[in-house]
A and B are shown apart, each in its own frame.
Chain A
Amino acid sequence: QVQLVESGGGVVQPGGSLRLSCAASGFTFSSYGMHWVRQAPGKGLEWVAFIRYDGSNKYYADSVKGRFTISRDNSKNTLYLQMNSLRAEDTAVYYCAKDRRAAAGNWFDPWGQGTLVTVSS
């Protein structure tokens, strides 16, 4: 059974940093691209970042470009999101999600349960 479990969320001050992790199981992690998606309280879904199966290419939403870094460790079946220079508007539940097919550029399935990041002084 495919499973994604996020961790690392919490409360951080504006300008601070946080690293999220997503532990994957139940599938060949090294064969699939992976995404981070976020949802601000009471708001809709926003795609944040994508990394190809081998880590060779990384893409970001304009709202986080230059501040967030997506990475992966295929030996540990784990996806990461390093978040720097955090702002109040980064407050959200952060989900990791698997790209559905081995070839990139598809829909997302499944999703993890999410981890809450709160940026506040």
Chain B
Amino acid sequence: AIQLTQSPSSLSASVGDRVTITCRASQGISSALAWYQQKPGKAPKLLIYDASSLESGVPSRFSGSGSGTDFTLTISSLQPEDFATYYCQQFNSYPQWTFGQGTKVEIK
């Protein structure tokens, strides 16, 4: 099974900071990667699909990049509403799907 490893597991940042989260796959997954944002007590919300495609309605400060085994989610200027946990997910190995362990973004 393909495993996804996110780093860091948590980070502290200030409003306006540039934040980068990494997701590494245990084997190549082409561009079959999505990113989700989850706030406490809420369902995950799709941000990015196909590694770099921005979901409609998601602010342009979010961007994704990468292919193969190494991927990044970047928030160009962190806003108060961005404090949340972020998950990557691979959908290359149908019919098995896996998530990274999550990255919690906290206020510094």
Contacts and interface: CB of A to CB of B under 8 A. Distances in A.
Interface of A: 35, 44-47, 50, 57, 59, 61, 95, 100, 104-114
Contacts, number: 56
Which of B55, B87, B97, B102 has the largest count of A CB atoms less than 10 A from its CB?
A: B97
Main secondary structure of the interface of B (DSSP, over half): loop
30 contacts: A44-B100, A44-B101, A45-B36, A45-B38, A45-B44, A45-B87, A45-B89, A46-B99, A47-B98, A50-B97, A59-B96, A61-B96, A100-B49, A104-B95, A105-B94, A105-B95, A106-B49, A106-B91, A107-B46, A107-B91, A108-B34, A108-B46, A108-B97, A109-B49, A109-B55, A110-B43, A110-B46, A111-B43, A113-B42, A113-B43
B46 A104 contact: no
B78 to A, nearest CB: 22
Interface string B67-91: 0000000000000000000010101
Report the contact-size class of chain B (Cβ under 8 Å from the partner): 20 to 34
Interface of B: 34, 36, 38, 42-46, 49, 55, 87, 89, 91, 94-102
Given A44-B101, A44-B102, A107-B49, A50 B95 contact: yes
Contact of A35 (B38, B97, B98): B97
Contacts of A109: 46, 49, 55
Contacts of B102: 44-45
A47 B89 CA distance: 10
- Can you list the 10 inter-chain pairs with the closest CB atoms, starting with the nearest? A105-B94, A107-B34, A59-B95, A111-B43, A47-B97, A109-B46, A45-B99, A44-B102, A107-B49, A44-B101
Nearest to A109: B46
A57 B100 CA distance: 26
